Amino acid sequence: MFPLLSKPRRSLRKPAPPETRTLDVAGRPMPLTIKQHERATRITLRIEPGGRALKMTIPSGLAQREVNAFLERHQGWLLTKLAKFSTDAGLREGGTVLFRGVSHRIHHTGSLRGLTEATVIDGKPVLKVSGMPEHLGRRVAAFLKKEARADLERLARFHARAINASINSISMKDTRSRWGSCSSEGNLSFSWRIVMAPPSVVDYLAAHEVAHLREMNHGPRFWALCETLCPDMQEAKAWLKRHGSLLHAIDFE
């Protein structure tokens, strides 16, 4: 987040609709959304989870030349920050993928049929994948979704029983802005990508959303309940802060 040197004059006109463009960052094309906000007094530039897009908020009426100059000045900052997001997810024969916090080597069996399976070969974790080579990423994703559902349904219902709460439904999604959600109707939703994290982090996410069945907020009582359900809450939150964006960066297509 970078402040402007001077505060622009407020405009009484309705802010323009968001502008979308592609920004070239040292040869890497990045989708950029620019949104005007009448209360903004400075430019903010954020990298979306996964490092696949950029979001910029600017004061209403700010001149395009100032926007362009800002982007030009911060090319180096963007390049440094985006460097940690690899576009190569390793989803190929001999590559690796995280599963429950452990790096698994991908082994394509060569067979067109067969279930994806996490196993151990010669003492090392391996993910055996069948099917057409060009579908390997999708088959890995399907495996992770299935395992995520099994883990999160078990953990969520365990925590719900602990606080005598009822879950209406549990769904898996591929959200970028949040790892999970809980509606007032008791519908829980989780990002299946969390199954790549260590089990303690998956448990924290389940406890977090179940705690919302009692406290639909992030106040002190919510966090106290969440920590009661998951004593390792602080360590899990720290892991997600450090590594969460890298899980979003993997392209399974």
Number of Cβ within 10 Å of residue 180's Cβ equals 19
- CA–CA dist 229, 220 (Å, integer): 14
What is the reported pTM?
Answer: 0.72
CB 37 within 8 A of CB 15: yes
**pLDDT, position 190:** 97
Is the pLDDT reported for residue 53 higher than 90? no
Is the pLDDT reported for residue 216 higher than 60? yes
- CA–CA dist 246, 26 (Å, integer): 20
- CA–CA dist 54, 88 (Å, integer): 19
Which residues are within 8 A (CB) of 140 and not within 5 positions of it... i.e. 6 or more apart?
Answer: 91, 97, 106, 116, 127, 129, 252
> Domain residue spans in the chain?
19-82, 96-248
Mean pLDDT taken over the chain:
88
Is the pLDDT reported for residue 13 higher than 80? no
Tokens of 91: 């989803």
- By percentage, how much of the chain surpasses pLDDT 90? 59
**pLDDT, position 88:** 52
Domain 96-248: assigned CATH number: 3.30.2010.10
**pLDDT, position 49:** 76
58-105 pLDDT per residue, tens: 999 899 999 999 998 888 788 777 777 655 556 888 888 999 999 999
**pLDDT, position 81:** 78
Confidence of residue 1 (pLDDT cuts 50, 70, 90): very low
Is the pLDDT reported for residue 7 higher than 70? no
C-alpha atoms less than 13 angstroms from C-alpha of 35 in its C-beta half-sphere: 11
**pLDDT, position 89:** 54
- CA–CA dist 221, 137 (Å, integer): 41
